[in-house]
Amino acid sequence: LFKFDQFKKLIEDFSPIADFLIIYIEEAHASDGWAFKNNVDIKIHQNLQDRLWAAHMLLAKSPQCPVVVDTMQNQSSQLYAALPERLYILQEGRILYKGKPGPWNYHPEEVRAVLEKLHS
């Protein structure tokens, strides 16, 4: 996750009023695919065990919220146009906020503004 510390701060500040969840989807910049230099060494997920292993690397960063993995058919990623990463706010089954695709358009501060408005 890009701006992971900002995301963790959102959880810290808003966990009394919101539930947070990370869905680990397919690896956008796999080391054996289209990778950035100095990126984490995660290969394209060949099976669910590969995806679970990668999710455990994320868990090691203490996200302070549950982490689940997408199916190998990438259902969540496709339904939410989540690749490479994206933030959403859902309330009672409705999308209240749909962030732009990350990493450059990934803005946890926009999520903060929506949650503050909802909480006031």
Residue 2's pLDDT band (cuts 50, 70, 90) = low
Separation in Å, CA 101 to CA 39, 49, 53, 56, 83 = 18, 26, 24, 23, 7
Q: Tell me the pLDDT tens digit for each residue of 49-94.
A: 988 988 898 899 899 999 999 999 999 989 998 887 899 999 999 9
Residue 97: both structure tokens together? 């906020």
Q: Which residue has the tokens 């909802």?
A: 118
Q: 22-42 burial by CB neighbour count: b if 16+ within 10 A, else e?
A: bbbbbbbebeeeebeeeeeeb
Class of domain 4-119: alpha beta
Q: So where are the chain's domains?
A: 4-119
Chain-centre distance for alpha carbon 110: 15
